[in-house]
Structure 1
Amino acid sequence: MAKSSSSSTTVPATVWLGRGRHLGPEAERDVRRNLIALKAAGVIDDFLDLDPIEAARSTDLFPRDESADAGPFARRLFEARWRTADSVTVRAQLTTYGPESRRAENESVTWVLAAEAERPWQASWPSPATVFWPDSDQVAWDHEKVPGVRLRTTNPLPKDDGELRRLLRECTRQNWFIHVVVHEAMTPDARGQRPITAFLPPSLRHRVVEHRATPEQALIADFAMKRELGVGLPRGGAVVLPPTPQIPGYDAERFTVRDVFLNGTEPTELLQAITQFASLPQPLPADAEQVLTRLRQSWHLLTPDEELVHARTMVTKYAKALEAMTASCDLYREAAESAHAALAEATTANNATPAPTPATAEQNTTPLKTLTKTLARFRSPNR
C-alpha cells in the first residue's frame, strides 16, 4: 500500500477522513448491504468484513503491533478497495463502535473512516462515505459527533447565545469537518432550503457541515462568532469557520461571502470559498492519527500480486534475521573455544610448576593473562 510522507499535524494530500454516528443498532447491516451491492455492480473491486479482534491478531506472516487494535468498543471492521475514473486505486477502512457506557440511552453507533489513494485526492472522485453507506436519506448514518448536527442537510443555529457559542467551540475544535454558517436574509422557500452542500463535488460533499442562521439571528450570530472565533457573519452572507487551532493560510476576509442568494441557484462564490479552504493543509485531529496508522499498517485486503510481494518480503526479512543469528552463534562458539583452550593451558602450566620462583612467576601467569583476555573478548558486545 502506498504511503505518503506527511507531517504528523496535517492530513496528507492522499487521504480522506470521515466520522459520524449511525442512529440505530443495525449499522453493520447497512454497510454490508451497500458493499455487496457495489461489488456486484462492479463499482468496487472487493471488500472484507472483519472481526476487530481477529483483524488485530499478529501472525508470523503478518506481524502487527498495538496500532492494529481498534479498541475495546470496536464492533466491526470493514475494508474496501476500488479504482477511480483515473484508474487510481483507493483503499479504505471503516470501523464501527458501540457506546462506551452501558448506561447510554441511545442506540447510535459511532463510525470512523479513513481512505487513501495512490495519488493526491481529487474532489471529483466518489465519496468514500457512500462506498460504505447508502446515499439515501432513509438511512441516518450522517449524524455528527456533536449532538443535533448532521451532514447532507442544513442545521439551524441555537436560539440561545450560550448554546450557540458552545456549539461553535465544539464544531471548530480539532474537528474532522469543514463548518460553514449561512445567514438567511429572508426565510427561503423550498428551493432555498436545499443544502448548499448538494452543489459540492462528490468527495467534498460529506466533509462539509452547513449551519443556517434565521433572519432574526443576524446580530446574535455575528456577535457570538466574533467573540468565539474572530470572524463575522455578514447579513445575507456566509463564512467558512476557522478550525481551532487555526491553520496557516486562513484569512477571514478570503473565506467570507457577502451575498448568498438562497433561491435554488448554484452559489458559485460560496462554493469557491469552500473549495479553496479545503485545499489548505488541514489539521490532523488527534483521534484520527491512530485511524490513519491502522489503515496503513494493518491492511488485510491484498490482491494476489500484493500477497506474493508481501510473502517474498517476509521471507527475505526472516532469512536475513536467521543469517544474523547464525553469525552471532559462530562468534560466541569461537570465543567459548578460545576460553576453554586458555583455561586448559593455564591449568596444565600451574600443575607442571609446583613452586615457581619470583623470577619465573611472571612467565607462568602468561596463560592466565591469555584466559583473561579471551573472556574479555567473550563479554564484549561486538563479539
Structure 2
Amino acid sequence: MAKNSTSSTTVPDTAWLGRGRHLGPEPERDVRRNLLALKAARVIDDFLDLDPVEAARSTDLYPRDESADPGPSARRLFEARWRVADDVTVRAQLTTYEPESRRSKGEGVTWVIAAEAERAWEASWPSPATVFWPDSDQVPWDETVPEVRLRTTNHLPKDDDELRRLLRACTRQSWFVHVVVHEAMTPDALGRRPITAFLPPSLRHRVVELRATPDQALIADFVLNRELGVGIPRGGAVILPPTPRSFDYDAEHFTIRNVFLDGTEPTKLLDRIKEFAALPQPLPADAEQVLTRLRQGWHLLDPAEELAHAQAMVTRYAKALEAMTASCDLYREAAESALDALAEANSGTGVPRTPSTAPSKEDSSPWKSFAKTLGRLRGPNPQGPDTEVQQHPPGQ
C-alpha cells in the first residue's frame, strides 16, 4: 500500500476517488456479479464482500484509526485488488450507504470508492468505477447529484433558481471535474454523444458534462459569472473551478471558445480536461475519511502481506507477553515487600496487639473495662505501667 506523505487538503497523486448513487433495487447484487465476472476473467486478482460491522472489528494489516470506520449507515463493504502496467498493484474499496431518508421515491443508495496504486495514478489505467459497477447503461449506478449522471450529457434546467441550485450542488465539495458546454445549434445524434466518451478510461468517470441549450447562452453565462466568477462563450465550453480552490485557477486558460459537436473528437477541450484533472484537486473532508479507511482498514491481503501480518502479530504478542511478565514480577515484589513490612510491624513492641473480642474472667467488670479504655485514650500512665487505676464505685 502506498504511504506517500501528502497534504491533507489535496488528493494524493496515487489515489482515485469517486462517489455517486445507485438508483436500482439491488446495488450490492450488481457489484457482486461484476466482481465475480472480472475475477473469472482474471481482470482482477481477488475481491472480498464484507459486513461493515464485522470488518471494523477484525484485525487489519495497519493500525486502526477510529476515523476509518464506515459508520452506522454503511450497508456493505467491498474490496478488490488488481494489477496495472504489469506489476503495479491497485487496491480499492467500495462502501454502500443507506440513504438519509426513504421519503423520496427513488432516492437511491449512496456509494463511495477509494482506490490507490503503488505509484502515481495514470489516466490510461482501468477505471475503479467499472471494476465494481458494470459498465452498462442498464445499471443506473452513476448519479452524482439528483438528475445528474456520469457517462452521459446533462442539460441545464430552464429555471434560473434551479440552475443556481444545480451548479452549487455540483461544485461545492465535489469529487468530480465539471465541464459546461454550450450548444451553438441543436446537435444531431452524433453531436449528442457525451464528450467524456473520448476521455481515457480512468478519467471517464471523474468528469460530469453539463450542456446548455442554444437559448440558454445568456442565462448560463450570467449564472456562472455570478456563482463561480467564470463565463461561457457561445458555442464553447468552460471547466468549472474547484471548490475550495486548491490551485491558482486561470479561467481564461480553461475556457474553450469553440467546441464542434459533430461527433468528432474535441481535441482542445479534452486536452484542457486532462490538464485540469492532473492539477492538485481539493480533498473533501468526507473523502479524507474514505481514503483513511482504505489505508488503515484493509482486509484483502496477498500471501506476502499475510506473512508480514503474521510476523507482526507474533512480535506484538511477544511484546505484550513480555510486558505482562514484567508487570507480574513487579506486583510480586511489591506484595513481598508489603508482607515483610507487615510482619515487622506486628513483631515490634510499639504497635499494640489486636485486643481479643472475648473478655476474660478477671476483666469481667464493666467499670474495669471502661477504666482501661479511658487509660488508653489518655496515653501512658505517668505512675508506671504496673500502677493500677483506683476504682471507685458510683456515689463515692
TM-fit CA distance, 1:240: 0.7
Q: Which residue of 2 aligns with 1:91?
A: 91
> Aligned runs of 1:84-163 on 2, under 5 Å?
84-106=84-106, 108-144=108-144, 146-163=145-162
Q: Match of 2:80, SS?
A: strand
Tell me the amino acid that sits aligned with residue 111 of structure 1: W
After superposition, the C-alpha distances for 1:204-248 in whole angstroms (9 at most, x for unaligned) are: 000000001111111111111111001111111111101221221
Unaligned runs of 5+ in 2: 352-396
**C-alpha distance in 1, partners of 2:58/2:79?**
18
* Deviating 4+ runs (over 3 angstroms): 58-69, 331-352
Q: Which residue of 1 aligns with 2:167?
A: 168
CA contact (8 A) 1:22 1:143 kept: yes
Tell me the amino acid that sits aligned with residue 105 of structure 1: K
> Aligned runs of 1:172-251 on 2, under 5 Å?
172-251=171-250
**Distance of aligned partners of 1:277 and 1:59 in 2 relative to their CA distance in 1, 3 Å threshold:** closer
CA contact (8 A) 1:173 1:244 kept: yes
The percentage of aligned residue pairs carrying the same residue is 81
**Distance of aligned partners of 1:62 and 1:207 in 2 relative to their CA distance in 1, 3 Å threshold:** closer
Q: Which residue of 1 aligns with 2:253?
A: 254
TM-fit CA distance, 1:202: 0.6
TM-fit CA distance, 1:344: 4.5
Q: Does 1:47 align with 2:33?
A: no
TM-fit CA distance, 1:345: 4.6
Larger Rg: 2
TM-fit CA distance, 1:41: 0.7
CA contact (8 A) 2:67 2:289 kept: yes
Q: Which residue of 1 aligns with 2:282?
A: 283
**C-alpha distance in 1, partners of 2:61/2:22?**
35
**C-alpha distance in 1, partners of 2:272/2:180?**
12
- RMSD across aligned positions (CA): 2.2
TM-score normalised over the length of structure 1: 0.86
**Distance of aligned partners of 1:174 and 1:66 in 2 relative to their CA distance in 1, 3 Å threshold:** same
Q: Which residue of 1 aligns with 2:72?
A: 72
CA contact (8 A) 2:60 2:298 kept: no
CA contact (8 A) 1:58 1:64 kept: no
Q: Which residue of 2 aligns with 1:56?
A: 56
Q: Does 1:267 align with 2:266?
A: yes
**C-alpha distance in 1, partners of 2:264/2:62?**
53
CA contact (8 A) 1:24 1:107 kept: no
Tell me the amino acid that sits aligned with residue 286 of structure 1: A
Tell me the amino acid that sits aligned with residue 319 of structure 1: A
Q: Match of 1:137, SS?
A: coil
Q: Match of 1:191, SS?
A: coil
CA contact (8 A) 2:61 2:296 kept: no
Q: Match of 1:56, SS?
A: helix
CA contact (8 A) 1:47 1:78 kept: yes
**C-alpha distance in 1, partners of 2:60/2:35?**
30
Alignment length (residue pairs):
352
Tell me the amino acid that sits aligned with residue 179 of structure 2: V
CA contact (8 A) 1:20 1:112 kept: yes
**C-alpha distance in 2, partners of 1:257/1:60?**
48
Q: Which residue of 1 aligns with 2:392?
A: none
Unaligned runs of 5+ in 1: 353-383
Query: For structure 1, which segment, 328-337 or 146-155, has the greater mean C-alpha deviation from structure 2 after superposition?
Result: 328-337
After superposition, the C-alpha distances for 1:264-293 in whole angstroms (9 at most, x for unaligned) are: 121111111111111111111121122111
CA contact (8 A) 1:93 1:295 kept: yes
Q: Which residue of 1 aligns with 2:16?
A: 16
TM-fit CA distance, 1:295: 1.2
CA contact (8 A) 1:82 1:90 kept: yes
TM-fit CA distance, 1:66: 3.7
After superposition, the C-alpha distances for 1:164-212 in whole angstroms (9 at most, x for unaligned) are: 1111111110011110001111111211111111111110000000001
CA contact (8 A) 1:35 1:132 kept: yes
Tell me the amino acid that sits aligned with residue 20 of structure 1: G
TM-fit CA distance, 1:64: 4.9
Q: Which residue of 2 aligns with 1:369?
A: none
**C-alpha distance in 2, partners of 1:125/1:60?**
28
**C-alpha distance in 1, partners of 2:63/2:284?**
27
**Distance of aligned partners of 1:239 and 1:61 in 2 relative to their CA distance in 1, 3 Å threshold:** closer
Q: Which residue of 2 aligns with 1:81?
A: 81
Q: Does 1:6 align with 2:6?
A: yes
- Structure showing greater relative contact order (alpha-carbon pairs closer than 8 Å, 6 or more residues apart): 2
Tell me the amino acid that sits aligned with residue 260 of structure 2: F
**Distance of aligned partners of 1:120 and 1:155 in 2 relative to their CA distance in 1, 3 Å threshold:** same
**C-alpha distance in 2, partners of 1:60/1:332?**
33
Tell me the amino acid that sits aligned with residue 4 of structure 2: S
Query: For structure 1, which segment, 57-66 or 280-289, has the greater mean C-alpha deviation from structure 2 after superposition?
Result: 57-66
After superposition, the C-alpha distances for 1:107-146 in whole angstroms (9 at most, x for unaligned) are: 62221111111111110100000111111112111111x1
**C-alpha distance in 2, partners of 1:134/1:37?**
10
CA contact (8 A) 1:257 1:269 kept: yes
Tell me the amino acid that sits aligned with residue 9 of structure 1: T
TM-fit CA distance, 1:101: 2.1
